[in-house]
Structure 1
Amino acid sequence: MTRREARRAGRALFDVAVSQDDPARVADDLARVVALLDAHSDLEKALTSPMVRPAAKCALIDQLAPRLALTSISHRFVRLLADRDSIASVRPIAAVFHTHLLDHQRVIEAALTTAVPLSEEQAAAIRSGLSAATGRHVSLVHTVDPAIIGGAVARVGSLVLDGSITTQLRRFKQELSAEV
Protein backbone atom coordinates (compact mmCIF):
# COMPACT_ATOMS: atom_id res chain seq x y z
CA MET A 1 0.00 0.00 0.00
CA THR A 2 1.40 3.39 -0.96
CA ARG A 3 1.54 6.37 1.37
CA ARG A 4 -1.30 7.99 -0.50
CA GLU A 5 -3.44 4.87 -0.15
CA ALA A 6 -2.58 4.69 3.56
CA ARG A 7 -3.72 8.31 3.98
CA ARG A 8 -6.98 7.55 2.18
CA ALA A 9 -7.53 4.38 4.20
CA GLY A 10 -6.82 6.22 7.46
CA ARG A 11 -9.26 8.97 6.52
CA ALA A 12 -11.93 6.47 5.46
CA LEU A 13 -11.57 4.54 8.72
CA PHE A 14 -11.77 7.79 10.66
CA ASP A 15 -14.97 8.80 8.84
CA VAL A 16 -16.54 5.43 9.66
CA ALA A 17 -15.44 5.69 13.30
CA VAL A 18 -16.94 9.19 13.59
CA SER A 19 -20.20 7.99 12.06
CA GLN A 20 -20.30 5.32 14.78
CA ASP A 21 -19.39 7.90 17.48
CA ASP A 22 -16.30 5.92 18.46
CA PRO A 23 -13.13 7.52 16.99
CA ALA A 24 -11.15 7.55 20.26
CA ARG A 25 -11.80 3.86 20.85
CA VAL A 26 -10.75 2.96 17.30
CA ALA A 27 -7.55 5.00 17.79
CA ASP A 28 -6.85 2.98 20.95
CA ASP A 29 -7.51 -0.24 19.03
CA LEU A 30 -5.05 0.73 16.31
CA ALA A 31 -2.45 1.61 18.94
CA ARG A 32 -2.88 -1.84 20.53
CA VAL A 33 -2.48 -3.55 17.15
CA VAL A 34 0.68 -1.55 16.41
CA ALA A 35 2.05 -2.31 19.90
CA LEU A 36 1.34 -6.02 19.41
CA LEU A 37 3.17 -6.06 16.08
CA ASP A 38 6.07 -4.13 17.61
CA ALA A 39 6.31 -6.58 20.51
CA HIS A 40 6.00 -9.73 18.39
CA SER A 41 8.06 -9.53 15.21
CA ASP A 42 7.29 -13.18 14.43
CA LEU A 43 3.58 -12.35 14.35
CA GLU A 44 4.23 -9.44 12.02
CA LYS A 45 6.33 -11.68 9.76
CA ALA A 46 3.49 -14.18 9.56
CA LEU A 47 0.92 -11.49 8.79
CA THR A 48 3.10 -9.87 6.10
CA SER A 49 4.48 -13.04 4.54
CA PRO A 50 3.35 -13.77 0.98
CA MET A 51 3.75 -17.48 1.84
CA VAL A 52 0.85 -17.34 4.32
CA ARG A 53 -2.56 -17.37 2.69
CA PRO A 54 -4.87 -14.43 3.34
CA ALA A 55 -7.48 -16.79 4.84
CA ALA A 56 -4.96 -17.94 7.47
CA LYS A 57 -4.05 -14.34 8.23
CA CYS A 58 -7.72 -13.46 8.68
CA ALA A 59 -8.20 -16.45 10.98
CA LEU A 60 -5.27 -15.25 13.07
CA ILE A 61 -6.77 -11.75 13.27
CA ASP A 62 -10.10 -13.30 14.29
CA GLN A 63 -8.33 -15.09 17.17
CA LEU A 64 -6.47 -11.96 18.27
CA ALA A 65 -9.40 -9.52 18.10
CA PRO A 66 -11.13 -10.63 21.33
CA ARG A 67 -7.81 -10.68 23.22
CA LEU A 68 -7.09 -7.13 22.08
CA ALA A 69 -10.70 -6.10 22.81
CA LEU A 70 -11.04 -4.60 19.33
CA THR A 71 -14.25 -2.85 18.35
CA SER A 72 -16.10 -4.42 15.44
CA ILE A 73 -14.98 -1.52 13.21
CA SER A 74 -11.32 -2.07 14.08
CA HIS A 75 -11.60 -5.84 13.83
CA ARG A 76 -13.13 -5.67 10.35
CA PHE A 77 -10.59 -3.10 9.23
CA VAL A 78 -7.53 -5.02 10.45
CA ARG A 79 -9.02 -8.18 8.96
CA LEU A 80 -9.42 -6.36 5.63
CA LEU A 81 -5.76 -5.28 5.77
CA ALA A 82 -4.72 -8.88 6.45
CA ASP A 83 -6.92 -10.17 3.63
CA ARG A 84 -5.34 -7.71 1.20
CA ASP A 85 -1.77 -8.39 2.39
CA SER A 86 -1.53 -4.81 3.66
CA ILE A 87 -1.08 -5.33 7.40
CA ALA A 88 2.31 -3.59 7.16
CA SER A 89 0.37 -0.38 6.43
CA VAL A 90 -1.31 -0.37 9.84
CA ARG A 91 1.37 1.97 11.28
CA PRO A 92 0.98 4.80 8.74
CA ILE A 93 -2.79 4.32 8.79
CA ALA A 94 -2.79 4.60 12.60
CA ALA A 95 -0.69 7.77 12.35
CA VAL A 96 -3.11 9.34 9.85
CA PHE A 97 -6.05 8.29 12.01
CA HIS A 98 -4.41 9.85 15.08
CA THR A 99 -3.87 13.12 13.21
CA HIS A 100 -7.53 13.24 12.17
CA LEU A 101 -8.62 12.40 15.72
CA LEU A 102 -6.59 15.27 17.19
CA ASP A 103 -8.04 17.64 14.61
CA HIS A 104 -11.56 16.37 15.35
CA GLN A 105 -11.00 16.92 19.08
CA ARG A 106 -9.49 20.37 18.37
CA VAL A 107 -6.21 19.26 19.92
CA ILE A 108 -2.83 20.21 18.55
CA GLU A 109 0.47 18.67 19.54
CA ALA A 110 3.24 21.03 20.58
CA ALA A 111 6.86 20.05 21.07
CA LEU A 112 8.60 22.09 23.75
CA THR A 113 12.35 22.01 24.28
CA THR A 114 13.92 23.64 27.33
CA ALA A 115 17.37 23.61 28.86
CA VAL A 116 16.06 22.36 32.21
CA PRO A 117 13.04 20.29 33.27
CA LEU A 118 9.83 22.24 33.87
CA SER A 119 7.57 22.06 36.88
CA GLU A 120 3.93 21.11 36.34
CA GLU A 121 2.93 24.73 36.92
CA GLN A 122 5.37 26.00 34.28
CA ALA A 123 4.23 23.38 31.77
CA ALA A 124 0.58 24.26 32.47
CA ALA A 125 1.30 27.97 31.94
CA ILE A 126 3.03 27.28 28.62
CA ARG A 127 0.23 24.92 27.56
CA SER A 128 -2.32 27.61 28.45
CA GLY A 129 -0.46 30.28 26.46
CA LEU A 130 -0.14 28.04 23.42
CA SER A 131 -3.84 27.13 23.71
CA ALA A 132 -4.77 30.80 23.74
CA ALA A 133 -2.54 31.49 20.73
CA THR A 134 -3.84 28.55 18.66
CA GLY A 135 -7.45 28.40 19.81
CA ARG A 136 -7.09 24.67 20.43
CA HIS A 137 -6.29 22.39 23.31
CA VAL A 138 -2.56 21.70 23.39
CA SER A 139 -0.95 18.34 24.01
CA LEU A 140 2.56 19.22 25.17
CA VAL A 141 5.54 16.93 24.50
CA HIS A 142 8.46 18.22 26.56
CA THR A 143 12.13 17.44 25.98
CA VAL A 144 15.20 18.75 27.77
CA ASP A 145 18.22 19.89 25.72
CA PRO A 146 20.97 21.66 27.68
CA ALA A 147 22.48 22.87 24.38
CA ILE A 148 19.89 25.65 24.12
CA ILE A 149 21.43 27.12 27.33
CA GLY A 150 18.16 28.72 28.50
CA GLY A 151 14.75 29.80 27.32
CA ALA A 152 12.56 27.51 25.25
CA VAL A 153 11.77 26.40 21.71
CA ALA A 154 8.14 25.55 20.94
CA ARG A 155 7.05 23.81 17.75
CA VAL A 156 3.34 23.87 17.00
CA GLY A 157 2.59 22.41 13.59
CA SER A 158 4.80 24.30 11.14
CA LEU A 159 5.23 27.26 13.52
CA VAL A 160 8.48 27.46 15.50
CA LEU A 161 8.73 29.89 18.40
CA ASP A 162 12.41 30.07 19.32
CA GLY A 163 13.16 31.96 22.51
CA SER A 164 16.34 30.06 23.34
CA ILE A 165 19.46 31.78 24.61
CA THR A 166 21.44 30.03 21.87
CA THR A 167 19.35 31.70 19.16
CA GLN A 168 19.49 35.08 20.89
CA LEU A 169 23.31 34.83 21.09
CA ARG A 170 23.50 33.85 17.42
CA ARG A 171 21.37 36.87 16.44
CA PHE A 172 23.47 39.17 18.64
CA LYS A 173 26.64 37.84 16.98
CA GLN A 174 25.14 38.47 13.51
CA GLU A 175 24.20 42.03 14.49
CA LEU A 176 27.70 42.72 15.81
CA SER A 177 29.39 41.34 12.71
CA ALA A 178 27.02 43.31 10.45
CA GLU A 179 28.00 46.56 12.18
CA VAL A 180 31.72 46.00 11.61
Structure 2
Amino acid sequence: MASAAKRYAQAVVELATERGTLDAWQRDLNTFAEFMARQDMAPLFQSPNVPQEQKEQMLDTALADAQPEARNLAKMLIARERLAIVPRLVVEFTRARMAVQGIVVADVTTAEPLSALGETEMRARLQEMFGKQVEMHLHTDPEIIGGLIVRVGDQLIDGSVANQLRQLRTRLATGAITP
Protein backbone atom coordinates (compact mmCIF):
# COMPACT_ATOMS: atom_id res chain seq x y z
CA MET A 1 0.00 0.00 0.00
CA ALA A 2 2.83 2.41 0.86
CA SER A 3 4.48 1.91 -2.52
CA ALA A 4 1.21 2.62 -4.35
CA ALA A 5 0.75 5.80 -2.32
CA LYS A 6 4.32 6.79 -3.13
CA ARG A 7 3.78 6.23 -6.86
CA TYR A 8 0.60 8.31 -6.90
CA ALA A 9 2.30 11.02 -4.83
CA GLN A 10 5.28 11.14 -7.18
CA ALA A 11 3.02 11.45 -10.21
CA VAL A 12 1.09 14.28 -8.56
CA VAL A 13 4.32 16.06 -7.55
CA GLU A 14 5.60 15.87 -11.12
CA LEU A 15 2.34 17.25 -12.51
CA ALA A 16 2.11 19.96 -9.83
CA THR A 17 5.75 21.00 -10.29
CA GLU A 18 5.28 21.25 -14.03
CA ARG A 19 2.19 23.44 -13.58
CA GLY A 20 3.37 25.39 -10.53
CA THR A 21 0.48 24.16 -8.39
CA LEU A 22 2.25 22.37 -5.51
CA ASP A 23 0.56 24.40 -2.78
CA ALA A 24 -2.89 24.05 -4.37
CA TRP A 25 -2.38 20.28 -4.58
CA GLN A 26 -1.39 20.18 -0.92
CA ARG A 27 -4.60 21.99 0.00
CA ASP A 28 -6.72 19.72 -2.23
CA LEU A 29 -5.17 16.50 -0.94
CA ASN A 30 -5.59 17.64 2.67
CA THR A 31 -9.27 18.39 1.99
CA PHE A 32 -9.71 14.98 0.33
CA ALA A 33 -8.05 13.17 3.26
CA GLU A 34 -10.13 15.07 5.83
CA PHE A 35 -13.30 14.22 3.92
CA MET A 36 -12.40 10.53 3.70
CA ALA A 37 -11.46 10.44 7.40
CA ARG A 38 -14.99 11.35 8.46
CA GLN A 39 -16.60 8.37 10.17
CA ASP A 40 -19.77 8.64 8.12
CA MET A 41 -17.88 8.53 4.81
CA ALA A 42 -15.82 5.35 5.07
CA PRO A 43 -18.82 2.95 5.12
CA LEU A 44 -20.43 4.73 2.15
CA PHE A 45 -17.34 4.53 -0.01
CA GLN A 46 -16.63 0.93 0.94
CA SER A 47 -20.15 -0.24 0.29
CA PRO A 48 -20.81 -2.02 -3.00
CA ASN A 49 -24.48 -0.99 -2.59
CA VAL A 50 -23.67 2.69 -3.17
CA PRO A 51 -23.46 3.35 -6.92
CA GLN A 52 -20.19 4.68 -8.34
CA GLU A 53 -21.97 7.79 -9.63
CA GLN A 54 -23.26 8.64 -6.16
CA LYS A 55 -19.77 8.29 -4.70
CA GLU A 56 -18.40 10.59 -7.40
CA GLN A 57 -21.14 13.16 -6.75
CA MET A 58 -20.30 13.18 -3.03
CA LEU A 59 -16.65 13.74 -3.90
CA ASP A 60 -17.49 16.51 -6.37
CA THR A 61 -19.39 18.27 -3.59
CA ALA A 62 -16.61 17.80 -1.03
CA LEU A 63 -13.92 18.85 -3.49
CA ALA A 64 -15.92 21.64 -5.15
CA ASP A 65 -13.07 24.14 -4.63
CA ALA A 66 -10.37 21.69 -5.72
CA GLN A 67 -8.60 21.62 -9.05
CA PRO A 68 -10.18 19.41 -11.70
CA GLU A 69 -7.08 17.18 -11.66
CA ALA A 70 -7.49 16.60 -7.92
CA ARG A 71 -11.11 15.59 -8.41
CA ASN A 72 -9.98 13.26 -11.22
CA LEU A 73 -7.42 11.66 -8.89
CA ALA A 74 -10.12 11.13 -6.24
CA LYS A 75 -12.44 9.52 -8.80
CA MET A 76 -9.61 7.30 -10.04
CA LEU A 77 -8.89 6.13 -6.50
CA ILE A 78 -12.59 5.31 -6.03
CA ALA A 79 -12.75 3.40 -9.30
CA ARG A 80 -9.61 1.43 -8.43
CA GLU A 81 -10.78 0.86 -4.84
CA ARG A 82 -7.65 2.54 -3.50
CA LEU A 83 -9.17 4.95 -0.99
CA ALA A 84 -7.25 3.30 1.85
CA ILE A 85 -4.01 4.83 0.54
CA VAL A 86 -5.24 8.44 0.81
CA PRO A 87 -3.67 9.21 4.23
CA ARG A 88 -0.31 7.77 3.14
CA LEU A 89 -0.54 9.53 -0.22
CA VAL A 90 -0.86 12.87 1.61
CA VAL A 91 2.19 12.08 3.75
CA GLU A 92 4.26 11.05 0.73
CA PHE A 93 3.12 14.06 -1.30
CA THR A 94 3.95 16.45 1.54
CA ARG A 95 7.42 14.96 1.91
CA ALA A 96 8.10 15.16 -1.83
CA ARG A 97 6.64 18.69 -2.14
CA MET A 98 8.85 19.95 0.65
CA ALA A 99 11.93 18.41 -0.97
CA VAL A 100 11.09 20.05 -4.31
CA GLN A 101 10.50 23.40 -2.61
CA GLY A 102 13.71 23.13 -0.57
CA ILE A 103 11.97 23.00 2.79
CA VAL A 104 13.20 20.96 5.75
CA VAL A 105 11.20 20.05 8.83
CA ALA A 106 12.80 20.83 12.16
CA ASP A 107 11.34 19.23 15.28
CA VAL A 108 12.29 21.64 18.06
CA THR A 109 11.82 20.60 21.68
CA THR A 110 12.19 23.10 24.51
CA ALA A 111 11.48 22.92 28.23
CA GLU A 112 8.99 25.78 27.92
CA PRO A 113 7.17 27.21 24.90
CA LEU A 114 9.16 29.66 22.76
CA SER A 115 7.97 33.25 22.53
CA ALA A 116 7.05 34.61 19.10
CA LEU A 117 10.43 36.37 18.96
CA GLY A 118 12.22 33.19 20.07
CA GLU A 119 10.43 31.25 17.35
CA THR A 120 11.43 33.79 14.69
CA GLU A 121 15.07 33.78 15.85
CA MET A 122 15.16 29.98 15.99
CA ARG A 123 13.78 29.70 12.46
CA ALA A 124 16.35 32.22 11.18
CA ARG A 125 19.25 30.34 12.83
CA LEU A 126 18.08 26.99 11.49
CA GLN A 127 17.63 28.41 7.98
CA GLU A 128 21.17 29.75 8.18
CA MET A 129 22.51 26.40 9.43
CA PHE A 130 20.77 24.27 6.82
CA GLY A 131 20.64 26.72 3.94
CA LYS A 132 16.98 25.92 3.35
CA GLN A 133 13.55 27.12 4.32
CA VAL A 134 12.56 25.60 7.66
CA GLU A 135 9.15 24.43 8.78
CA MET A 136 9.30 24.12 12.55
CA HIS A 137 7.27 21.69 14.61
CA LEU A 138 7.47 22.91 18.19
CA HIS A 139 7.23 20.63 21.21
CA THR A 140 7.66 21.20 24.93
CA ASP A 141 9.13 18.70 27.35
CA PRO A 142 9.91 19.91 30.88
CA GLU A 143 12.16 16.88 31.42
CA ILE A 144 14.90 18.43 29.26
CA ILE A 145 15.16 21.07 32.05
CA GLY A 146 16.41 23.81 29.73
CA GLY A 147 18.06 24.39 26.38
CA LEU A 148 16.65 22.68 23.33
CA ILE A 149 16.74 19.63 21.10
CA VAL A 150 16.52 20.02 17.32
CA ARG A 151 15.99 17.15 14.88
CA VAL A 152 16.18 17.75 11.14
CA GLY A 153 16.01 14.56 9.12
CA ASP A 154 18.59 12.23 10.63
CA GLN A 155 20.55 15.05 12.29
CA LEU A 156 20.15 15.62 16.02
CA ILE A 157 21.37 18.66 17.93
CA ASP A 158 20.91 18.05 21.65
CA GLY A 159 21.64 21.22 23.57
CA SER A 160 19.41 20.30 26.48
CA VAL A 161 20.47 20.74 30.10
CA ALA A 162 19.41 17.13 30.72
CA ASN A 163 21.91 15.95 28.06
CA GLN A 164 24.69 18.13 29.49
CA LEU A 165 24.04 16.66 32.95
CA ARG A 166 24.13 13.11 31.50
CA GLN A 167 27.47 13.84 29.82
CA LEU A 168 28.89 15.33 33.03
CA ARG A 169 27.68 12.30 35.01
CA THR A 170 29.41 9.97 32.50
CA ARG A 171 32.68 11.94 32.67
CA LEU A 172 32.60 11.92 36.47
CA ALA A 173 31.93 8.17 36.55
CA THR A 174 34.76 7.37 34.13
CA GLY A 175 37.23 9.91 35.53
CA ALA A 176 37.43 11.63 32.14
CA ILE A 177 37.45 15.14 33.54
CA THR A 178 39.20 17.70 31.38
CA PRO A 179 39.55 21.38 32.12
TM-score, normalising length: structure 2: 0.91
8 Å contact kept, 2:35–2:62? no
Q: Distance in 2 between matches of 1:121 and 1:78?
A: 41
Q: In the TM superposition, what whole-angstrom CA distance separates every residue of 1:66-111 from its partner, at most 9, and x where no partner exists?
A: 2xx1101110001100111111211111111111111122111101
The code of the aligned residue for 1:25 comes to A
- For the 8 Å contact 2:32–2:62, the answer to whether it is kept is no
> Which residue does the alignment assign to 1:43?
41
Which amino acid counterpart does residue 11 of structure 2 have in structure 1?
A
1:106 pairs with 2:102: yes
Letter of the 2:104 counterpart? I
Output aligned runs, 1:24-173, within 5 Å.
Answer: 24-38=23-37, 40-50=38-48, 52-66=50-64, 69-173=65-169
CA distance in 2, matches of 1:6, 1:27: 15
% identical aligned pairs: 26
Q: 1:165 to 1:80 in 2, by over 3 A?
A: same
2:59 touches 2:74 (CA, 8 Å); kept in 1? yes
What is the one-letter code of the residue matched to 2:16?
A
Question: Is this contact kept in 2: 1:55–1:83, CA < 8 A?
Answer: no
Report what 1:12 is aligned to.
11
Shift of 1:55: 4.5
Structure-2 change in CA distance of 1:62 and 1:118 (3 Å): closer
Deviation string for 1:30-78 (max 9, x for gaps)? 111112223x212122223455454543343234332xx1101110001
Where structure 1 has 5 or more consecutive residues not aligned to the other structure, the ranges are none
CA distance in 1, matches of 2:161, 2:57: 57
CA contact (8 A) 1:17 1:73 kept: no
Aligned length: 176
CA distance in structure 1 between the aligned counterparts of 2:113 and 2:29, rounded to whole angstroms: 32
When structure 1 is superposed on structure 2, of 168-177 and 117-126 the one drifting more is: 117-126
Aligned CA-pair RMSD: 1.7
Contact kept in structure 1, 2:110 and 2:148, CA below 8 Å: yes
CA distance in 1, matches of 2:97, 2:135: 13
Answer yes or no: is the 8 Å Cα contact 1:57–1:83 preserved in 2: no
Local SS of the residue matching 1:41: coil
